[in-house]
Amino acid sequence: MTTQALVSSYVQDVKELDSYLTGSPITLTGSTLSLSQIAAIALYPPSSSESSTPKLQLTDNEHVKAKALASRAVIESKVADGISVYGVSTGFGGSADTRTDDPIALGAALLQHQHAGVILPTFASTFPTAPTAIPTLSSLNAFPSPAPLSDPFTNTSMPPPWTRAALLVRANSLMRGHSGVRWELVEKMGELLNKGVTPVVPMRGSVSASGDLSSLSYIAATLIGNPAVRAWVPSPSPPSPVSSISSTPFSTETSSPSSSPDLSPFVASIPLPPSVDTLPTIDTPKIDGYRSYTLLPAPQALQVAGITPLPLSSKEHLGILNGTAFSAAVSALVVRGARGVGVLGAVLTAMSVEAMLGARGSFDPFVGEARPHIGQIHSANLIHSLLDGSSFASAHEVEVKIKDDDGVLRQDRYSLRTAPQWLGPQFEDLANAADVVTTEVNSTTDNPLIEPPSESNNQTGQIHHAGNFQALALTNAMDHVRLSLAHIGKLMFVQLTEIVNPAMNRGLFPNLAGGEVGLDFGFKGMDIAAASYTGELNVLGGMNVGVGNVSAEMHNQSVNSLALISARYTLTALEVTTLLAASHLMVICQALDLRALGEELHEALPGLIRASLLDAFPLLTDNTTATSLVSAVIPALKEALDRTTTLETKVRMHKVAGACVVPLVTALSTSPVEGAELGALPAFITALAVRLERKLTELRCAYLGVQPHAVRGASPTAEESEVAWRGPAPASKYLAPRTRALYQFVRMTLGVRMHGAGNVRGDVYGMQEGVDGGEGTIGDGVSVICEAIRDGRIGRVVVGMVEGIVGL
């Protein structure tokens, strides 16, 4: 992948993932694993009730299998000949000066010392059952157990998608023929994935040098059926008894039962099975792609899935552990999401230009040609193309005389005008990070490396001791992605807050209020929340995890990449940026509706002015003269409308109408009109103010779906009037065809409507007794949009928007 292909690679990724979700198999080859394949396996696990989830198969390429078999033969021959091999006859790391001739026991000892991760809550089987066991407070019942400050299980164990992704990445690496493991081991790992067995792995404990040792040890333990570790497995339907196949009793009672109300990463409040002899069905809502899963000791989990444990052979324990699979897997999931957020940032910029009546010319190709950074060129091309056909974004700068330019911004603000220069470097860094991660997941990250027999090693094979497990390439990539997300989020925040701010939003209501500004503060709370998100992103973006390493393991691991830690923090940044993007999109849609409402009000001004002139000056019959007077008044009227948005409607419209006096008197004095008495000006102002107020109220009702008689404080005459609802997406006709697609998706498909109907009716929950708050909260709307970003629906819309744009 190259920098130039960021947008097109994103489009390809979305389409590729959809192909796996509709039946295309995923074939593991050792060298062609893609980000979308990782996402398909990680995010869409199998369940007992579904057969449509992505399926994994190993390549049938005989050359690939032959390399793996040859690599394994090298290990077997070395062991048979009594050759000393690191990790087969020696200890590990700083203990490599120890020796043994029992490679199986050595492998078991490797797993034993790496099972040092902390997973809460603790389980009874973790502790001795003899009377000499150290008692816990809960066993003594001396004090009640405190409620946890955070969920103990989900904060100490990895989400299942991480583990499934890591299992896939490790299998892909092991089959490359450089690790000396049996082909059966790769097949068994694939079987775990296809049958949904997902080991529970500690969240923390890897320094990502010598690989993600501790993390991967729990995968190895699950493969051999170690009863001391646990795994998720799809629940059988209907539930059936499962007998224990473990020689060690396992109780799932926690040592502190009241301290862990939520044990499941799939859904809240899922209890563990009371014993190994009974396996209840746990019904979960459709969250995160998971349905019914049960947590069991590894032997029972394998038995439920119909999988036979696989005893590991020489070198295989180390072969599983000594790799960067977790760091690479989480990085793959993160960079894939970050790439989508980067493209969405450009899409939201284009829509912000429309909401702010900005200039499409800021993104003219000439600008990029004058400063040819490839990311800038492509982000500008994307925004420029998205705005094609918009009624709100000016196509070309209109030249005006200096006398007509007073007090008007000559160019758009930084958040719009410099967006390509801001987003361009992020496009480049995200593309590079995706390239790095794709390389990593198709690499061999073991130590030692096994070179199959060849002419160069006299057909005996060779063992190389090196450091492919050092994952600093991933750390650097994730550090850069995290910084890019902070930059993208900052741009979203600035655009959002300028759209909400009446001092900067070019005539929109303050806080984008849909109702009366004194009783509707619209998106003020979202503006504050967005500042919180941005502050957190600034902290995350400023981290350089790669320089934070400390010496580990007898100072043998003297430099550590901490890649998994960097990936975890970057995932947090991705989640926060997604919140910002969802908030920004909701704000933009509200702004577009208000802009369309304002456009309709502007379109009605000539008729309102003419009718008011005739009311005040009934002898004014010359149509040409009336037209010239209307033309003289409109500029001042529009300017007054833009700068009085913070006023209550009645007061505002009287002030706006009053702004017409000077231009009207000037026009009358330069071209006297028979019958136009200046003493009638107050009547004109009153008539125009009433018409403006009535028209704005009518438009509010039409856009919000409220009848005039239902408006809070409506006059009796309102009972006689009705308005036609403009529908859920009233701004559509003004938008560019490409941006219209996302706006309509939010308004029509997601059902997130223009905000303010409750304020206009006066039935906001708590405003008066007896209302039910049926509209939900503003945050509910953001949540719906956020979920649509997370689950890929908005990504599919974006792909449709950008397809066909030349040069991306």
Long-range contacts (CB closer than 8 Å, 24 or more residues apart) made by 9-13: 9/339, 9/431, 9/434, 10/339, 10/340, 10/343, 10/799, 11/799, 11/802, 11/803, 13/336, 13/339
The residues that bridge with 451 in the sheet, in sequence order, are 462
For residues 512 and 289, what is the distance between their CA atoms, to the nearest angstrom?
36
> Contact, 684 vs 613, CB < 8 A?
yes
Catalytic: which of 20, 86, 218, 533?
A: 86
CA proximity to 587, closest of 723, 785, 740: 785
Can you state the angle between helices 325-355 and 793-802, rounded to 10 degrees?
A: 60
H or E segment and range at residue 449: strand 449-451
Pairing of strands 293-297, 230-234: antiparallel
H or E segment and range at residue 234: strand 230-234
H or E segment and range at residue 463: strand 462-464
Q: Strand, helix or coil at 552?
A: strand
For residues 417 and 516, what is the distance between their CA atoms, to the nearest angstrom?
32
> Contact, 517 vs 648, CB < 8 A?
yes
- In the DSSP assignment, the letter for residue 398 is P
CA distances from 213 to 187, 229, 322, 424 (A): 21, 16, 6, 37
CA 47 from centroid of its chain's CA atoms: 25
Number of neighbouring beta carbons within 10 Å of residue 697: 21
For residues 337 and 4, what is the distance between their CA atoms, to the nearest angstrom?
18
Is the CA virtual torsion 149, 155, 159, 160 positive or negative? negative
Exposure on the CB side of residue 76, measured as CA atoms within 13 A: 9
Q: Strand, helix or coil at 57?
A: strand
The residues that bridge with 463 in the sheet, in sequence order, are 450
Q: What is 637-649 written as a DSSP string?
A: HHHHHHH-TTS-H
Q: What is 90-128 written as a DSSP string?
A: B--GGGTT-B-S-HHHHHHHHHHHH-----SS-BGGGS-
Is 533 among the residues known to form the active site?
no
The residues that bridge with 26 in the sheet, in sequence order, are 56
CA proximity to 653, closest of 611, 695, 614: 695
Q: What is 66-86 written as a DSSP string?
A: HHHHHHHHHHHHHHHTT---T
Number of neighbouring beta carbons within 10 Å of residue 722: 11
> Contact, 436 vs 471, CB < 8 A?
no
> Contact, 620 vs 614, CB < 8 A?
yes
Look up residue 797 and give its two tokens: 């819309």
Look up residue 269 and give its two tokens: 């409040």
Catalytic residues: 86
